[in-house]
């Protein structure tokens, strides 16, 4: 028997293949040398510039041996999403609309290098729904030579001393942050001042950065081994003029009652339980183009 309607005896399903987005990653700490006991700040950027659609991906950075106490802050741009975190392995699932970007500031303390006295850090990104059409730009590596800290280290900026202590255990001062320099901040942490004892030992360092629209502040203090301990970032209140108040308390006897307190008009940064007996005498302030980052108003 002959089928009287042969046209419906076969069928074809046709799907349009949609190409996956091309995401790209870069990493840099903006230097070629890292100092023993000092922080290293990696800027990890991931973009979806070409599309054709939104991307979901996992960003990974397992810090090499020799870097400790890692923590990261993520800044999204263009509708992207990402998360902050702590630990020596960054692993974060991100979403990137077309044209969007995420940027991580991943900080850790450098203690030792590899057999060649190097710190080699590689970060990568992988799409969650298939292979990237251009995998060559899905990973990047930053390499530093680990050295002992010394004057002139990687272009140490000009610092001028301000007398803030008179030998007392407790020292407090209110500082004005230069508005012009503040407007030039990027997400790269900038050390704007360091407090030192009469012996010349650094007691703390203050850093500022700009994360998106936020100006943020953190403090670096030294532990008994001379290694930097890094506080969390704290938003700086958008006041005019921009004021920063700090207080340093030296430890008494065998007690751990020393502290550093920073207040910018919002939530304060308190680093307590310090056992340093050294007393703060000088505040070394960074100068750029003859303009100091901080000026003492009262102390």
Lowest pLDDT segment from 115-129, 143-157, 270-284: 143-157
262 vs 264: CA distance, rounded Å: 7
Average pLDDT across the chain, whole number: 88
Residue from 278, 217, 221, 291 nearest 250 by CA: 278
Distance from C-alpha of 79 to C-alpha of 102, rounded to nearest angstrom: 9
Residue 16: the pLDDT is: 43
Which of 41-55, 120-134, 215-229 has the weakest average pLDDT? 215-229
> Given pLDDT bands bounded at 50, 70 and 90, which one contains residue 254?
confident
Residues 76-100, mean pLDDT to the nearest whole number: 97
Q: Are 107 and 41 in contact (CB under 8 A)?
A: yes
Can you list the pairs that 160-163 forms with residues at least 24 positions away whose Cβ atoms lie under 8 Å? 160/284, 160/285, 160/287, 160/292, 161/282, 161/283, 161/284, 161/285, 162/282, 162/283, 162/284, 162/285, 162/294, 162/296, 163/281, 163/282
| Integer Cα distance of 57 and 124 in angstroms | 10
Residue 267 is predicted with a pLDDT of 74
Please state the rounded mean pLDDT for residues 78-105: 97
Decide if domain 24-147 falls under CATH 2.60.40.740.
yes
What pTM does this model have? Answer: 0.87
Burial of residue 48 (number of CB atoms within 10 Å: 0-12, 13-18, 19+): buried
Beta strands 89-96 and 55-62 are antiparallel
User: What pLDDT sits at residue 15?
Assistant: 45
* pLDDT reported for residue 152: 43
Q: Please determine, for residue 274, whether its predicted confidence score (pLDDT) is greater than 70.
A: yes
Q: How far apart are CA 79 and CA 287, in angstroms?
A: 36
Cα(87)–Cα(120) distance, integer angstroms: 17
Exposed (0-12), middle (13-18) or buried (19+): which is 183, by Cβ within 10 Å? exposed
pLDDT of 192 > 50? The answer is yes
pLDDT higher than threshold 90 for residue 222: no
Domain ranges of the chain: 24-147, 159-298
What was the pLDDT predicted at 279? 93
Architecture of domain 159-298: Sandwich (2.60)
Give the count of beta carbons closer than 10 Å to the beta carbon of residue 30: 12
Q: Do 24-147 and 159-298 come out as alike in CATH topology?
A: no
């Amino acid at each position: 028997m002959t089928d009287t309607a042969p046209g419906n005896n076969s069928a074809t399903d046709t799907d349009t293949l949609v190409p996956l987005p091309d995401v790209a990653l870069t990493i840099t700490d903006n230097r070629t040398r890292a100092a023993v006991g000092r922080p290293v700040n990696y800027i990890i950027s991931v973009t979806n510039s070409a599309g054709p659609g939104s991307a979901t991906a996992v960003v990974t950075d397992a810090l090499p041996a020799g870097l400790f106490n890692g923590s990261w802050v993520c800044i999204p741009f263009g509708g992207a999403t990402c998360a902050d975190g702590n630990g020596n392995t960054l692993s974060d699932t991100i979403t990137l609309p077309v044209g969007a970007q995420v940027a991580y500031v991943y900080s850790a303390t450098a203690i030792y290098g590899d057999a060649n006295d190097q710190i080699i850090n590689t970060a990568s990104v992988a799409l969650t729904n298939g292979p990237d059409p251009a995998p060559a730009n899905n990973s990047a590596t930053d390499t530093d030579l680990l050295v002992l800290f010394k004057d002139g280290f990687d272009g140490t900026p000009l610092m001028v001393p301000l007398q803030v202590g008179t030998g007392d255990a407790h020292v407090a001062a209110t500082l004005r942050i230069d508005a012009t320099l503040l407007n030039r901040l990027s997400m790269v942490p900038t050390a704007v001042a360091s407090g030192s004892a009469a012996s010349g030992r650094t007691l703390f360092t203050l850093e500022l950065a700009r994360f998106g629209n936020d100006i943020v502040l953190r403090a670096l203090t030294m532990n008994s081994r001379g290694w930097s301990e890094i506080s969390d970032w704290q938003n700086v209140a958008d006041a005019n003029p921009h004021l920063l108040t700090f207080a340093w308390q030296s430890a008494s006897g065998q007690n751990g009652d020393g502290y550093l307190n920073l207040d910018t008009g919002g939530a304060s940064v308190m680093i307590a339980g310090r056992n340093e007996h050294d007393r703060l005498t000088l505040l070394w302030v960074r100068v750029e183009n003859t303009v100091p980052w901080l000026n003492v108003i009262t102390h």
